[in-house]
Structure 1
Amino acid sequence: MVIRLLSALGLAFGLAIGPLHAEEAKMVPESRLEMQLSFAPLVRQSAPSVVNVYADKQVSRQSMFSGDPFFEEFFGQQMPNRSEKQSSLGSGVIIDAKGLIITNNHVIAGADDIKVALSDGHEFAARIVLKDERLDLAVLSIDPRGIELTAMPVGDSDHVEVGDLVLAIGNPFGVGQTVTSGIVSALARNKVGEGDFSFFIQTDASINPGNSGGALVNMKGELVGINTAIVSRSGGSIGIGFAIPANLVKVFIAAAEGGQPGFTRPYIGASFDPVTSDMAEALGLKVARGALVTRVVEGGPADKAGLRSGEVILAVNGHPVEHPDALGYRLTTAGLGSTVTLLISNNGKESEISLTLEQAPETTPKDERLIDGRNPFAGALVANLSPRLAESLQMPPEAQGVVIEEISRGSPAARLGFEPRDIIINVNGTAIASTEALEEVIQQDPSFWRVEIERDGQRIRQFIR
C-alpha cells in the first residue's frame, strides 16, 4: 500500500519521485488520501504554454435601403454601407519557444488583426504561418521580444486510452485561463467539429466557447489534443467535448516549419464508404468496422498496390480503421512519401498490401478563369478538374470536367443558384471539357441558355433567359 501511495503521490506532484512506466502511471485511487491529491503541480507546469487568442475582422453591413429606387435616386447606385468590427476569442498552445503557436482555424478565420496574450498578461501581434480549414488547424507566429516562452511537449496520441485522466486548459467565455479535469471517454469519434477531417478524442473535461484551440494535457504534462468542439444544446459544456489528436498536430506543425504554402494530404486514388451492420455479414466481417472500397482510379497508387472495389481496409500499420475518416487520419499522419501496410479483408479472408503515399497529380492544367460579362456564370471562378484539385475541393478523385471553385457574392451565378463544386457538363448543346471551351460558348452571347451541371452525382438542367 505504501508503494502504491508513493507512486500516486509522485504522479500528482509532477513526477517528483522520478519517471514512471506507463503501466504504473495508470492507477485507480484506492484511498481517501489518494483522492485528495492535487493537479496543481501539473497545472503550474502546463499553464504558461497556453495562450489567449483574440481575432478581429471588419465586416461590411449592406444598407437596409439598398435596391430601393427612392434612396438610390439621392445616393446613386453606391448606397452608404456600414462597417463594424467583429471579434472572436479562443485559445492556443505554444509549441516552440521561438514563438510558434497552434490553434483552431475557426478561431482566426477571416481575421484582419490577431493578438496573442500569454498567461502572465504580455500581448503580442501574431501572423498566420499556415492554416487549413479542413483540418481546422492554424499555426501562428509571434516575436517574443526577449521574453522566455514555455513550449508544451507534444505527446503520442496513439498511446491515449479510454479512461485516461486529462486536463483541458483554455479561456472559456473570456473569463481568463481556466483548467478543468476529466477522462478520455472515447476515441476515433467522427462527424463533429468545423472541419471535414473527423477523427477526435472525446473527453468529459468541461470545454466551453473560448476553449477552442486550447490544450488537452495528459498526466505527464504532454499535449495530446487541441480542444476543438463541444456537443451542447445550451452552448455550455454537458460533458461531451472533442479534441484533434496530437499526432495530426505534429504533422501540421512540421508542414508549417518546413515553409509549405499549404497542407498536402496523401492521395491514393480510391473512394470509400463506412461498413454498416447490414453490410458486415455480407462482407464476411465479424463486426461493422473498416473502410469499404467503392471505387479505384485506374493507374492511381491504390490500383498499383492491388486494392480493388469491394475490399475492406481494416488497419493501417497495425492501427485499426474504424471508418473512412479514421483511414484518412492514419494515412495523413503517416505522411507523404511513406509506404504503409494495409490489412485488407476480401470476403472474410485477410491479407496485407503495401501502399506508397503520393501527392495527388495534376493530370490536367488547372487553367483558372474568372467569368464575367452577360451570362449565367458571371462571377464564378472555374477550373479544369484533376485529382489534385478534386482532393482540395473534397470531390471524388475520378471527377473530371470544368468545376466551379468559387462564386462572388451577389453575382449572376450566385443569384441563379450555382454552387462551388458544381461541374459544368453542357451549355447550349456543347459539351464542356475545358475552361477554354466554356469561354468560347459564353462569347456567343445567346439570348437563351440551356445549362446542364452535375452536383453531388446528380444531373441538373436549367433553362435561363
Structure 2
Amino acid sequence: MTNDKPGHHLYARIFSRRRLVLLTSVAGIAAIVALGGPTGYTHLSLPWMSSARAADAQSQHSAGFADLVAKVKPAVISVRVEMDETSDASDLSSDKEENSPSGPPFEKFFQQHGSDEAPGGMPQRHELIIGAGSGFFISPDGYAVTNDHVVDHARSVQVTTDDGATYKAKVIGTDPKTDLALIKVDGKSSFAYVNFEDHAPRVGDWVVAVGNPFGLGGTVTAGIVSAQGRDIGSGPYDNYIQIDAPINKGNSGGPAFDINGNVIGVNTAIYSPSGGSIGIGFDVPAQTAKAVIAELKDKGVVTRGWLGVQVQPVTTGIADSLGMKKVEGAMVDEPQNGSPAAKAGVHSGDVVTALNGTPIKDSRDLSRKVAALAPGSSVKLDILRNGESKTLTVTLGELPNRKQADAGNREARPDSRSPHIGLRLAPATEVAGSGGKGVVVTGVDPEGSAAEHGFQSGDVIVDVGGKAVGDASDVRNALSEAKSQGKHAVLMRVKTADTMKFVALPIG
C-alpha cells in the first residue's frame, strides 16, 4: 500500500538519519555534534549524558535565531495594496511581473491577484488588482520602508503588524531607480521599529529574512551573505547584496537582518528559473536604502547628480589600444548636448579614470558615484585623452526625473506619432568601423523597451519593418508607420558584433 501523504518521504529520510545516529552511538563514536549556528556549537544530548549536563549545555549555547527573531519580528509588516486596472493596468503588469529586472529568471517577488468577476459571477467594469508585499517600520511614529514595485499605482495601502492589527497607510515617496518606497501609518507613535546597519556585511555573514511570502505573514528564514556588488540589469545603479536565505513572492520590501538585529538590506528580487526560491536573492544595501529613504522623507523625491554622458566599460581591447595598464574606467561614447560634461569639455573617446581622486572601476561605478552626489556639486574628473591624463572640473546638474518629464509632456503625446523605444542613434556613415550601412546605436536608455530586448551600444540597425534605414529619421518614420497600421511590434534586422539577427520590438 502506497502512502501518498505530503511529507511521507521527508519523514522517511528523517527516520533513516535517526537510525544512523543510533548506530553511530552504539559504536561509541562522537558524543557531540557541531551544528553551525550564530553563536557556535549546539550539543546533542545523548542517552549517557545526565539531564543536568544536557540542560547546562542548552543554556550556554543558543540553538538558533530565536532571540534575534523575537527582537525584530514585531517591526516587520505585511503590506496589502489595491490597484484599479482602469488607471494603469498595462503599466502594472509590465512593470511588476513581465519586466522584472531582466525578465525571467529574475523576478521581483511582489505577489498579485486579479479578479474580473463580482462575487455573483457578474463581470465587473473595473478589474481590481490586489497585491501582497512586505515592509518594516524605521521609526516609532509609523514610517515604514517597502519596495516601489509594491506600492506603485496603488489606490490604497494597508499594513498588518505582527500582532494582527491592521492600519491604513499613505505613500510618502518612491524611487523607481532603486525600487524603494517610504510609507506612513498615522495615529500611533509607539510602533516597534528597527535600524539600518551602518556598515556593509561581509560575504559569509549570517542573515535572517522576515516577511510575507505568498501571503504567509511573519515568515522567518535564515542563510548567509553570498556575494556583494551584484549587477542584475534592473537599473543604472545596481549594487545588490546576494543572499541565500529563502525568499519568495510576497517578500518584496521586507528586511534582511544581521545577527545584531540591524537591517543590512531590503529584499527586492530573486533569481528563479522555476518561479520559486532556489537560494539566490538580491537586496538593496542598507547604505543605499538609508540615504534614499532619508531624502524621500525630507522631500518626497530623490534628486541625483547628473554628468550627462553615455559611457561603456573599458574592455581589454580598449585598454590595449589606449596603452592603459589596467582594464578600468568608463569610456565616454558621447557627451549629451548642453550637459554638464559637454560644458566642461568632456569629449567622445575620453576615459574617466577617477572622480574626486577615487578610481572608477567601470561605467556603472561612475554612474553610482555621480548619482550619490548632490546637483550643483563641483567635482574633479580625471580623464585619459589620446594617451594623456587631464583633470576637468565639472559642476553636476540634476538628473532629469523621467516620471516628471513624462507628466509634463503628456499633453503633447497625441500629436507625436513616433513611439519612444529608448535608443540614441547615429548614421553608420558617421561612425567608423560600423560598415557604412544602417544606423548605429550610440546609447541605450536602461529603462526603455530596447534595453529589455538586448540592444547595446554599437549595434547596427540595418532595416526596420523590411525597409532600409540610414538615419534616425528613417527609424522614426518606420516606427510611426507601423504604429499607424495598428501593429504592436516592429521587426528590426540588427547587426551585432558577431552576428545578424531579427528583433521584434514592442511599439505600443
TM-score (norm 1): 0.63
* Match of residue 308 from structure 2: 269
- Matching residue within 63, 67, 70 for 1:41: 67
One-letter amino acid of the structure 2 residue matched with residue 155 of structure 1: E
- Matching residue within 241, 244, 247 for 1:204: 244
Deviation, 1:132, is 2.7
- Matching residue within 151, 154, 164 for 2:193: 151
CA displacement, residues 50-104 of structure 1 (integer Å, 9 cap, x when unaligned)? 211111123359xxxxxxxxxxxxxxxxxx8643322111111212222111111
- Matching residue within 224, 243, 246 for 1:183: 224
1:234-253 matches, within 5 Å, as 234-253=274-293
* Match of residue 271 from structure 2: 231
* Match of residue 335 from structure 1: 374
- Matching residue within 112, 131, 145 for 1:102: 145
CA contact (8 A) 1:284 1:347 kept: no
* Residue aligned with 1:258, SS: helix
1:116-195 matches, within 5 Å, as 116-143=159-186, 145-146=187-188, 148-156=190-198, 159-193=200-234, 195=235
Deviation, 1:349, is 7.0
* Match of residue 55 from structure 1: 81
One-letter amino acid of the structure 1 residue matched with residue 253 of structure 2: G
| Percent of aligned pairs with the same amino acid | 35
Root-mean-square deviation (CA, aligned residues, Å) is: 4.3
| Greater fraction helix | 2
Rounded Cα–Cα distance in structure 2 between residues aligned with 1:397 and 1:264: 28
* Alignment gaps of 5+ in structure 1: 1-7, 14-31, 62-79, 383-392, 399-419, 423-451
Change (3 A) 1:271 1:98: same
Rounded Cα–Cα distance in structure 1 between residues aligned with 2:425 and 2:64: 52
Change (3 A) 1:43 1:284: farther
Deviation, 1:339, is 4.2
Rounded Cα–Cα distance in structure 2 between residues aligned with 1:119 and 1:318: 47
CA displacement, residues 234-281 of structure 1 (integer Å, 9 cap, x when unaligned)? 111112111112222223222222234x32221112111123343333
* Alignment gaps of 5+ in structure 2: 1-35, 41-57, 88-122, 427-447, 451-469, 486-508
CA displacement, residues 328-387 of structure 1 (integer Å, 9 cap, x when unaligned)? 22222333344455554557777765544331589x9x6663455xx884xx999xxxxx
CA contact (8 A) 2:304 2:373 kept: no
1:309-458 matches, within 5 Å, as 309-316=348-355, 321-340=360-379, 342=381, 344=383, 355-360=394-399, 369-370=411-412, 377=417, 454=472, 458=475
CA contact (8 A) 1:12 1:39 kept: no
TM-score (norm 2): 0.59
Rounded Cα–Cα distance in structure 1 between residues aligned with 2:59 and 2:360: 41
Change (3 A) 1:241 1:312: farther
Rounded Cα–Cα distance in structure 2 between residues aligned with 1:153 and 1:96: 8
